[in-house]
Amino acid sequence: MRLSATARCALAGILLIATQAAPAREMRGAPAGDFDLYILALTWSPGFCASGGEDRAGDQCARGSGLGFVVHGLWPQYERGYPAYCGPQGRSPQRRDLDAVAGVMPSAGLARYQWRKHGSCSGLAPSGYFQAVGTAFAKVQIPADYQGKGLERPTEPLMVERAFGLANPGLRPDMIAVGCGRSDDGSTVLREVRICLTRDLRNFRPCPDEVERGTCRARSIMVPEVR
């Protein structure tokens, strides 16, 4: 069942405390298939691992993994808030489903978690959801400077956006958000790039305001080397 925009706004009013600065709010148990857009979340593995990710992502952060940008998740999203852990529950990914995203997502454990929290809201079977993950990742061209080991000098979040825009015709700054984090040595590092896509995954589209507001505000960031 797809909720009308009016019904979703009413639900958001009940579940959210909406302010200009409020982060996106999770709406658990929303009807599967009811959403407005997808967000493709790509983590820059070295920055993710240096800013706390190593504690929960051993495979991704293992020295010698050689991982740069990988898919963290493909998230159904509302214009305000996002659905999570949608019903009906009960379908679980099979090994062949997880094999379809090997090399795209860094571990089977992450893939299972992403299915439970986000994929269950897509309205797709596990096989269809992970096929969509691969389709979304294939649509995005990683800029040449981010296909190697990292950048030797600091850069700006805006320059990361521009690099993705140059590599992907039609991808404007309002369709992408750059996430950063604080590493153990105190530096600010590139952690994630989020790209907004239409429901059919055919086109880039503007991100909701709350996604844009989450973009990194640091004046400069480091892009750590691939390990």
Its CATH class, for the domain covering 5-212, is: alpha beta
- How far is 64 from 70, CA to CA, in rounded Å? 15
pTM for the model: 0.87
Task: Give the helix ranges, DSSP H, for 29-169.
Answer: 45-50, 58-61, 95-99, 108-117, 126-139, 157-167
Question: Which residues lie across from 146 on neighbouring strands?
Answer: none
Write down the pLDDT at residue 148: 77
Is there a contact between 12 and 80 (Cβ–Cβ < 8 Å)?
yes
Write down the pLDDT at residue 22: 55
Burial 93-112 (b: 16+ CB within 10 A, else e): beeebbebbeeebbbbebbb
- How far is 179 from 184, CA to CA, in rounded Å? 17
Question: Would you state the structure tokens that stand for residue 146, as one six-digit string?
Answer: 């981010």
Question: Would you state the structure tokens that stand for residue 89, as one six-digit string?
Answer: 């529950």
Question: Would you state the structure tokens that stand for residue 150, as one six-digit string?
Answer: 């990292």
* SS3 state at 174: helix
- What pLDDT digit, counting tens, does each position of 23-57 carry? 678 999 899 999 999 999 999 999 999 998 866 67
Size of the chain in residues? 227
User: What value, to the nearest 5°, has the Cα angle with vertex 133 and ends 130 and 134?
Assistant: 95
> Is the backbone of residue 4 left (phi > 0), alpha (psi -120 to 50) or beta?
beta
- What pLDDT digit, counting tens, does each position of 172-217 carry? 999 999 999 999 889 999 999 999 999 999 999 999 999 999 999 9
- Classify strands 26-28 and 82-84 as parallel, antiparallel or unpaired: parallel
